[in-house]
Structure 1
Amino acid sequence: MIFTDTHTHLNSEQFDEDRNEMIQRAIKSGVSRLFIPAVDSNYTQSMFDVAESFPNNVHLMMGVHPTHIKENYKDELNIAREWLETGKFVAVGEIGIDLYWDDTYINQQKEAFKTQVQWAKELGLPINIHCRNAFNEIFEILEEEKSDKLFGIFHCFTGTLEDAKKAIGYNLKLGIGGVATFKNGKIDQFLNEIPLEHIVLETDAPYLAPTPFRGKRNESAYVVNVAEKLATIYQKSLEEIAAITTQNSIDVFGV
């Protein structure tokens, strides 16, 4: 079985003590396809370092994370654009809008998100969306930018069934992770109404560890725990979940 973690921060400082061992655990568990989203320019070199160590397993995205859109956001966008021009990246991400912690830079976040969506369409790349307390704002921009060239993943999807259908309508797969295993996660109550062809697996490691690891550091090997939950929800074998969600990720990233 080949599993895919479509969103894992393998370069996070939380893995500095045991990064190689953690990645080897994932590969040994069958999670052999690993995709790292960008945050800002401070994390670019660490992404390259991980990819260099695991060239057959690790793929990189490039973009500016919405919580890192500050006064210097135009500088960060320029750096991200220069990197995207190199053709070394499989997606523009993670990008989006996050109003959970602070809405000081809401207008800048909107501008940065829209700009990066336009880059993705221009470059023929998928987007990887981060959305927190901002479904209306995200959908407003997606509606403005919708086209056959717009596609990607709605990372860490935690919305309603209506939100899920809207996202799918913009050619987006739903990134499903640990939240699907939480007792109060809610999305497990309607996921079976979403065809599996629209689902990809993720961890968002080191965050949002699935049950039974909730509250602890997440890691990519735990994608299997998410897949086991989906096997129950969809009444399919683990092998089917692995095969279908991995193919879905290939359809998005092209690798």
Structure 2
Amino acid sequence: MIITDTHTHLYSEAFEADRDEMIQRAIDAGISRFFIPAIDSTYSERMLQLKRDFPEHMFLMTGLHPTHVKDDFKDELLHVQTLLKEHKYYAIGEIGIDLYWDQSTLAIQQEAFRQQIQLAKQCNLPIVIHCRDAFDEVFEILEEEKGDDLFGIFHCFTGDFEQAQQAISYNMKLGIGGVVTFKNGKIDQFLNKIDLKHIVLETDSPYLAPVPYRGKRNESFYIMEVLEKLSGLYQLSEKEIAKITTENSKAIFGI
């Protein structure tokens, strides 16, 4: 059984003490494909080292996270373009809009989001979207940019059924992680109405650990809890869920 974690920050400082052991624990459980989202230029070298340490298992993205869009964001986007010329990346992400932490940067977040979508199109790469308290704002830009060359993953999807359908209409898979196990997560109430071909698994580790680990450091191994939850929702074996969602990840990332 091959399981794919489509979104995990394995380079995070949260794993400094036991990174190799934590990754090996996941690999031993069949989680053998890890897609690594970017935050900003300060993490680029750590991500590349992760790839060097686990070359068969790590697949890197590059991009500027919306919470890190500051006045120097154009320099950060130049860094992203430089990385694309120098190394192999499988997506532009995570990118998007986050109005939970800072609404004052909306205008530059929108500009950075648009520019990175256009960069992804130029490179024929998928995008991986971060959206927090910003569904309307994200959908507005996706509507502007929609087309066959726009595709990717709506990471950590937390919206309602209608928003799920809208995201799918823009060629987005829904990234489903620990939130599906939360009592107040709500997505478990409608998820099985959505064809599994639109779903990929993720952890977003070290964040958003699933029940029964909620509130603790998340890690890729805990995707097993997400897999178990989806098995129950879709009434399919965990092996079948893993197979379908891994195939979905291959369709997006091309590997």
Q: What is the TM-score when the length of structure 1 is the normalising length?
A: 0.99
Q: Give the alignment's Cα RMSD to 1 decimal.
A: 0.6
Report the Cα distance in structure 2 between the residues aligned to 1:54 and 1:35, rounded to whole angstroms.
12
Q: Which residue of 1 aligns with 2:88?
A: 88
Deviations 1:51-93 (A, max 9, x none): 1100000010000000000111111111111112335100000
Report the Cα distance in structure 2 between the residues aligned to 1:87 and 1:193, rounded to whole angstroms.
39
How many positions carry a matched residue from both structures? Answer: 255
Q: Which residue of 2 aligns with 1:102?
A: 102
Q: Which residue of 2 aligns with 1:79?
A: 79
**Equivalent position amino acid for 1:78 in 2:** L
**Equivalent position amino acid for 1:98 in 2:** D
Q: Which residue of 2 aligns with 1:40?
A: 40
Report the Cα distance in structure 2 between the residues aligned to 1:72 and 1:111, rounded to whole angstroms.
12
Q: Which residue of 2 aligns with 1:4?
A: 4
Deviations 1:210-252 (A, max 9, x none): 0110000000011111010000000000110000000000000
Report the Cα distance in structure 2 between the residues aligned to 1:24 and 1:77, rounded to whole angstroms.
33
Deviations 1:133-175 (A, max 9, x none): 0000000000000010100000000001000000000000000
The answer to whether 1:62 aligns with 2:59 is no
**Equivalent position amino acid for 1:131 in 2:** C
Deviations 1:114-150 (A, max 9, x none): 0000111111000000000000000000000001010
Counting only pairs closer than 5 Å after superposition, residues 199-238 of structure 1 correspond to structure 2 as 199-238=199-238
Counting only pairs closer than 5 Å after superposition, residues 190-205 of structure 1 correspond to structure 2 as 190-205=190-205
Q: Which residue of 2 aligns with 1:131?
A: 131
SS in 1 for 2:86: coil
Report the Cα distance in structure 1 between the residues aligned to 2:169 and 2:81, rounded to whole angstroms.
27
Deviations 1:182-237 (A, max 9, x none): 01100000001100000000000000000110000000011111010000000000
Report the Cα distance in structure 2 between the residues aligned to 1:105 and 1:72, rounded to whole angstroms.
12
Report the Cα distance in structure 1 between the residues aligned to 2:222 and 2:135, rounded to whole angstroms.
27
Report the Cα distance in structure 1 between the residues aligned to 2:5 and 2:164, rounded to whole angstroms.
20
Report the Cα distance in structure 2 between the residues aligned to 1:137 and 1:171, rounded to whole angstroms.
17
Report the Cα distance in structure 2 between the residues aligned to 1:87 and 1:252, rounded to whole angstroms.
19
SS in 2 for 1:223: helix
**Equivalent position amino acid for 1:181 in 2:** T
User: Which stretches in structure 2 are left out of the alignment for 5+ residues?
Assistant: none
Report the Cα distance in structure 1 between the residues aligned to 2:106 and 2:84, rounded to whole angstroms.
24
Report the Cα distance in structure 2 between the residues aligned to 1:156 and 1:51, rounded to whole angstroms.
23
Report the Cα distance in structure 1 between the residues aligned to 2:85 and 2:147, rounded to whole angstroms.
22
Deviations 1:15-61 (A, max 9, x none): 01000000000101111100110000000000011111000000100
| Dislocated runs of 4+, deviation >6 Å | none
Q: What is the TM-score when the length of structure 2 is the normalising length?
A: 0.99
SS in 2 for 1:131: strand
SS in 2 for 1:62: coil
**Equivalent position amino acid for 1:149 in 2:** D
Report the Cα distance in structure 1 between the residues aligned to 2:95 and 2:201, rounded to whole angstroms.
18
Counting only pairs closer than 5 Å after superposition, residues 112-191 of structure 1 correspond to structure 2 as 112-191=112-191
SS in 1 for 2:236: coil
**Equivalent position amino acid for 1:115 in 2:** Q
